[in-house]
Structure 1
């Protein structure tokens, strides 16, 4: 699934890249006006625009359809070739304009050769377009949206349908007050609201009464004992930790936690490695009674190596609560108040399967769309048929991805190369 998203994003992004290059003043003035036939350039533009509309549909139909997937791969290869040829032409023109030097061999193509190669690429793209009927591809426009997962201890917006869960977990926490260390895990599928519930507990003033130290740590798929220990120290020490040795880190953490009541949240934990957990948990045994580590995880056995361990399975929300989340994020009825949209919206919510993140994402996606046709596109999307077991991605989030504009899909894929919860330096990212 992840590889398929990468291919789709690279195709969309590559088309935009080549189109932008074709219409740039530098390319038009340096290459088109002097070297390339304008008709050939226009033909390439037309082919790219048609391919872009087909690619948007192909991205959604590639799952479970190997022929469409191969079509996307072929289109991607043609786009890479086109971009490389145009890049060569522009560099060659710029070098010759500035100084008379011998060009590198890879740039030293005659105008005739360049035109022939571009003609070949255009034909490849046009031939791919001719396959649209046999593949069942349609030309569809692309929309826009944005989505960013939560990465903070702060509660955002209203929380619906979790009062009972909060009360149950608070009782569980209070019942463990006579133990030096308790580990409690909130267990549930992705998007069900584990992090949101943990945020509510973390910011509950009554629950935090008497707590000396608390910290919120994002763990994610790769559980690094040293890095996570260091992050806990930073969390309880205002972001300061200059140690690197695991032994020194554990000694430092032990001293900081000794005789203190702490509340540590480890958000999005995946590792079930008992040896790693035994190593990590050692300094936490020295806290005061009532100290707690709260985990959010999709895995039932995470954290179960300690004596006082409890898990809390978090269930899906009712459709009514999901509708409240959807309506809140869709600005309904403030700006989208028609009965027709409400009918479509409630059907969309039913397909969210009780996942608040799905309702929130799709509500936000449709917030600025006031046309019933746009809402029906989301409702009738083929993506709803994908199995979460196979794709590992909530269909609603996959739909929001496909509504990103091409340049953001490309950016999305680039950023996905970094580890989850990676802290970006703004200036460095802009330069990259």
Structure 2
């Protein structure tokens, strides 16, 4: 269980290390290569966790390696928090440059620029040295990738569908109403085709929000037809168009080329008010997007496409609204409810007060990510006794 918890927490770190805000900040401050190195070494370490879990009972050295890794992961998380704070301060001061904004006046002068002082520089080098030592020890301990885990990674991954259990979703009511206003509100009813991007980091709940909107009663009554397609990193216009067309018509389109598919889709959408969700779009090539979008121009006024993406470039090239809808992290209280739901099958820890403290410690490391809270809750499911020592 400890290995699974640690693995889930490393997943949160991977998302933080790949976030656009952090990468932009690191690039400005000359830290990009350092963070890339941390990410590479984390991936090498994460690959042997299952093997380390199996061997720790028979080796004190392996158990200590896992303990050291846990402590290192916490310290990386803390320094990423510091980077995030500095990045936000830069954003605020930049937005108010040359103005007399009250916001700027409340930011200390020492924070208006960011330089790596001796303390922070020493911390960065220390963490890098510890990473190097962890990788070296991994090899010395002869830890290797677990065959079962590797096979699980190479098999096809299930992609989310439009189906959602509303009772299992927490903390997204206001976000849902905001997207519904874009779709069925007065301002969008006369638009020929609205494209609404939902943007946010991995695991933050973009797909879940799209599912809630897609299944809402207001949407059901407002649109003549609707369809859902998962795009993913492997952008395939033929596959996506085929998925949408088959969803709308129940017609088997196997073996048809893009020209046939788009003409058929165009015929079926003509004069109809539709909603299409394109989940997990990564491709920011405007030419590709123009081709994919072409058949949707035939719909009636009020038609809409909702896009979920982690990529700012995608949202800027596809959206028709002034700004993409940015999905924010959930509060710790909401994450605690998600953890309780998946770990205990309850909405809170009122019936398991002895576990509440460890639950709060766990969600503190989730950084507002509902996916992290869900994964950790699944790992802890029906584990009714608190773990001894520190939380993994």
TM-score of the aligned structures, taking structure 1 as reference length: 0.57
SS at match of 1:315: coil
| Aligned residue number for residue 68 of structure 1 | 134
| Aligned residue number for residue 194 of structure 2 | 182
Range moving further from structure 2, 224-233 or 46-55: 46-55
| Aligned residue number for residue 253 of structure 2 | 241
Residue 164 of structure 2 is aligned to residue 152 of structure 1: no
| Unaligned 5+ runs, structure 2 | 1-38, 74-126, 148-156
Say whether the 8 Å CA contact 2:241–2:261 is kept in structure 1. yes
| Aligned residue number for residue 215 of structure 1 | 227
Match of 2:372 among 340, 345, 358: 358
SS at match of 1:219: strand
- Equivalent positions of 1:149-298 (< 5 A) are 151-156=160-165, 157-174=167-184, 175-238=187-250, 240-298=252-310
**Aligned counterparts of 1:184 and 1:239: Cα–Cα separation in 2:** 28
| Aligned residue number for residue 337 of structure 2 | 324
1:133-186 CA-to-partner distances (Å, cap 9, x unmatched) read: xxxxxxxxxxxxxxx986121113422221111111111112312122110011
Match of 1:312 among 303, 308, 325: 325
SS at match of 2:230: strand
Say whether the 8 Å CA contact 2:338–2:347 is kept in structure 1. no
Offset at 1:370?
2.0
Say whether the 8 Å CA contact 1:217–1:232 is kept in structure 2. yes
Q: 1:197 to 1:239 in 2, by over 3 A?
A: farther
Offset at 1:227?
2.4
Say whether the 8 Å CA contact 1:278–1:305 is kept in structure 2. no
**Aligned counterparts of 1:227 and 1:363: Cα–Cα separation in 2:** 34
Offset at 1:67?
2.8
1:266-325 CA-to-partner distances (Å, cap 9, x unmatched) read: 111112111111111111111111111101111223254458335211111222222221
Offset at 1:4?
5.1
Say whether the 8 Å CA contact 1:12–1:56 is kept in structure 2. no
Say whether the 8 Å CA contact 1:254–1:286 is kept in structure 2. yes
SS at match of 1:295: strand
| Aligned residue number for residue 371 of structure 1 | 385
Larger radius of gyration: 1
Match of 1:344 among 358, 362, 377: 358
Q: 1:253 to 1:52 in 2, by over 3 A?
A: farther
| Unaligned 5+ runs, structure 1 | 17-45, 84-147, 382-432
RMSD: 3.4
Say whether the 8 Å CA contact 1:183–1:303 is kept in structure 2. no
| Aligned residue number for residue 299 of structure 1 | 311
SS at match of 2:133: helix
**Aligned counterparts of 2:41 and 2:272: Cα–Cα separation in 1:** 46
Offset at 1:72?
2.5
Q: 1:79 to 1:317 in 2, by over 3 A?
A: closer
Structure (1 or 2) with the greater helix fraction: 2
**Aligned counterparts of 2:160 and 2:299: Cα–Cα separation in 1:** 27
Q: 1:189 to 1:12 in 2, by over 3 A?
A: closer
Offset at 1:209?
1.0
SS at match of 1:199: helix
Q: 1:248 to 1:3 in 2, by over 3 A?
A: farther
Q: 1:59 to 1:238 in 2, by over 3 A?
A: farther
Offset at 1:8?
4.8
- Equivalent positions of 1:385-424 (< 5 A) are none
Q: 1:53 to 1:229 in 2, by over 3 A?
A: same
